[in-house]
Structure 1
Amino acid sequence: MSKLFTPITMKEVTLKNRVVMSPMCMYSCEQEDGKATPFHLTHYHSRAVGQAGLIMVEATAVQPEGRISAKDLGIWNDDHIAGLKEVTEQVHANGAKAAIQLAHAGRKAQLDTPIYAPSSLKFNDSFKEPVEMTSHDIEETIDSFRKAAKRASQAGFDIIEIHGAHGYLINQFLSPLTNRREDSFGGNRENRYRFLGRIIDAVKTEWDGPIFVRISTDEYDEKGNTMEDILYYTKQMKNDGVDLIDCSSGGVVPASIPVYPGYQVKRCDHIKNTVGIATGAVGLITTGIQAEEILQNNRADLVFIGRAMLRNPYWPKVAADELGEDLEAPVQYKRGWQ
């Protein structure tokens, strides 16, 4: 059997295959209240029908001011649980596991209300200037991740991913490009990691399932985090009980990014085999053969499929056909699949 369609178990959660629907913002909350809509139910349900092993719900804001846009999903109060629970129930009904990406946009929030960041630095001239977070703001935000983890459990999710990439709030604390603080949350990399470390600890008080963290493994700026810094952070995450590093890149500051098939896999491979932690590969992975190569060469443990799965909810079926695998069809679709 191909490795792409081999099960994998993390903390008693078994994925039937290594195909992950990557978290992708849909900007589709109709009432701007953070609640799941019929679109979200259809969107995630269809990818579970398509036989991905793990369906990861998009960046979901732990605070209203942490939304990327006013139409983002939220998990900042208990009113959000019911809609998210409908999503997980539909995902589970099709044999997939459900994950949620807990997020805070920080200075990249595009809202009419005040936005917050570790330092009062705009992303670019098109973005608002953020308010520098006080110690109280930081503690409130850490606690918001804790409360979000509890709600994620109540909604029936199997895995939590903490969004520490793409220049959003956690990434802003991690990066010297965006963190100019002079307190215990800024300065050297130990201090810059403190915010994420505290969030991981807070989440664990409410959650005993697998925890993933998405990070930007390359900031595409010579003054940003080096690979040595990234390895330091990932070692700390491993020690803090994180199960998998979702290896993306960019988004911290405006930058020109050279994009090509599998362009982020090299760093994913390096982190996995240097730190000894499971990793997820993402970034222009479009075919089953490409995904299988990554897994067979031990460059990652999971493969996150983004845009290719937007184009085709049944991407796993196409990949299985490429690899000569007989992918079990949903009962309703057997006549067409077999």
Structure 2
Amino acid sequence: MPTLFDPLTLRGVTMRNRIWTSPMCQYSVLDQSGVPQQWQLVHLASFAVGGSGLVFTEATGVSPEARISPRDTGIWNDEQRDAWKPIVEFIASQGAVPGIQLGHAGRKASSWPAWGFTGRTGTVPVAEGGWTAVAPSPEAFGDLDVPRELDLAGIDAIVDDFRTAARRAVEAGFRAIELHAAHGYLLHQFLSPIANHRTDEYGGSLENRARLLLRIVEAVRGEIGDELPLFVRFSGSDWTPGGWDEQQTATVAGWAQNAGADFFDISSGGIAGGIRIPLGPGYQVPFAEHVRSSAEVEVSAVGLITTPQQAAEIVATGKADAVMLARELLRDPHFPLRAAHELGEQLTYWPPQYERARWRD
């Protein structure tokens, strides 16, 4: 089995290790333009300096209406593309692979950001920068407004939004693309019988519910060419009876691989409020392990992975091919450098500016 610090190659791209930065929403585009700001540069650059093998952006909207909140980043126009370029270049200059997560929030769109608006909940009004959300079915999430049900022309437009966003991502220099099909956002809404009650070719059977995702995988693969890896983030479970589960995830991951995807980032939850999730160290790792073994695909695990020893065990025992860290990297952006010391690994990619701080026996 590989170790945490062995490289991993997907298509024409090699990650220097298997500790990767998970996409993390920041809600920091204060002018609501979708253009990444200095915050994105400093935030993402810190993980590249700290030794991550792959650094993913936050969920980035493929259209204005795709954003979770008005403060999200986007990549639906050339100004946004060009603003991503220096961020991408710096990440790559530090030896990490720059990746972008492309997302559409669906019925969870146009919501108030997670910080800066104390007491504001529900849907952001149009007069304050909000918009009407769309979804597979006209059913609201929590206290958000009822979304507009997508017709077939609207579905076709979303496929095209992902395609053109992927094109701009490649032009910006990103070396890995991830489709966000987790956490109750649009692609997960189509996949899950909790949120998808359509009776046409996009609802009902698993094949129908997976149709939009597979169309987008094929469209994005056709746009980015054969060299770059394509990731899909899934929720491994809805954590509720009758919902999306790990076996459906494994089945659709196999179909997505046949359609052009390479790697699967396994998280969980997000389809509905009020569901109790039994949190604990590595609580989502079993979903990644199931998908990996059942579908025979490569996966990463995420969720309360907080120590070097825990991360190393996940990879060394074959539960996942890599680990994605989020909150632990917010606490310690240099976690990979510290992990190497604690695990007895000698790295060649310590930043020379930080060399005096390297741990020595």
Decide whether the 8 Å contact of 1:3 with 1:292 is kept in 2: yes
Query: How far apart, in 2, do the equivalents of 1:199 and 1:23 lie?
Result: 19
| Equivalent in the alignment of 2:98 | 98
Query: How far apart, in 1, do the equivalents of 2:145 and 2:184 lie?
Result: 15
Deviation at 1:51, TM superposition (A): 0.9
Task: Tell whether 2:346 aligns with 1:326.
Answer: yes
Task: Tell whether 2:345 aligns with 1:305.
Answer: no
Query: How far apart, in 1, do the equivalents of 2:358 and 2:146 lie?
Result: 52
Query: How far apart, in 1, do the equivalents of 2:354 and 2:260 lie?
Result: 40
Query: How far apart, in 2, do the equivalents of 1:228 and 1:45 lie?
Result: 36
The AA in structure 1 aligned to 2:164 is: K
Deviation at 1:231, TM superposition (A): 2.2
Equivalent in 175, 190, 201 of residue 192 of structure 2: 175
Task: Tell whether 2:60 aligns with 1:60.
Answer: yes
Secondary structure in structure 2 of the residue aligned to 1:152: helix
Query: How far apart, in 1, do the equivalents of 2:194 and 2:263 lie?
Result: 25
The AA in structure 2 aligned to 1:314 is: H
User: Equivalences for 1:115-130 in 2 at 5 Å?
Assistant: 115-124=133-142, 126-130=143-147
Equivalent in 213, 237, 245 of residue 218 of structure 1: 237
The one-character-per-residue Cα deviations of 1:287-312 (angstroms, maximum 9, x if unpaired) are 11101100010111111010000011
Which deviates more, 303-312 or 78-87?
78-87
Secondary structure in structure 2 of the residue aligned to 1:39: helix
User: Equivalences for 1:235-274 in 2 at 5 Å?
Assistant: 235-254=254-273, 255-274=275-294
Decide whether the 8 Å contact of 1:2 with 1:292 is kept in 2: no
Equivalent in 180, 183, 205 of residue 163 of structure 1: 180
The AA in structure 2 aligned to 1:118 is: P
The one-character-per-residue Cα deviations of 1:282-338 (angstroms, maximum 9, x if unpaired) are 000011110110001011111101000001111111211210112331011111115
Deviation at 1:27, TM superposition (A): 0.4
Deviation at 1:204, TM superposition (A): 1.2
The AA in structure 2 aligned to 1:91 is: I
Q: How many aligned residue pairs are there?
A: 337
User: Equivalences for 1:186-201 in 2 at 5 Å?
Assistant: 186-201=203-218
Decide whether the 8 Å contact of 1:118 with 1:180 is kept in 2: yes
Query: How far apart, in 1, do the equivalents of 2:267 and 2:330 lie?
Result: 18
| Equivalent in the alignment of 2:132 | 114
| Equivalent in the alignment of 1:234 | 253
Secondary structure in structure 1 of the residue aligned to 2:155: helix
The AA in structure 2 aligned to 1:85 is: K
The AA in structure 2 aligned to 1:324 is: G
Query: How far apart, in 2, do the equivalents of 1:52 and 1:225 lie?
Result: 31
Query: How far apart, in 2, do the equivalents of 1:313 and 1:296 lie?
Result: 23
Query: How far apart, in 2, do the equivalents of 1:127 and 1:277 lie?
Result: 36
Secondary structure in structure 2 of the residue aligned to 1:263: coil
The one-character-per-residue Cα deviations of 1:27-57 (angstroms, maximum 9, x if unpaired) are 0002100001111111111110101111001
User: Equivalences for 1:14-33 in 2 at 5 Å?
Assistant: 14-33=14-33
Query: How far apart, in 2, do the equivalents of 1:94 and 1:224 lie?
Result: 41
Deviation at 1:173, TM superposition (A): 0.3
Deviation at 1:71, TM superposition (A): 0.3
| Equivalent in the alignment of 2:44 | 44
Deviation at 1:2, TM superposition (A): 7.4
Decide whether the 8 Å contact of 1:165 with 1:215 is kept in 2: yes
Secondary structure in structure 2 of the residue aligned to 1:136: helix
The AA in structure 2 aligned to 1:144 is: D
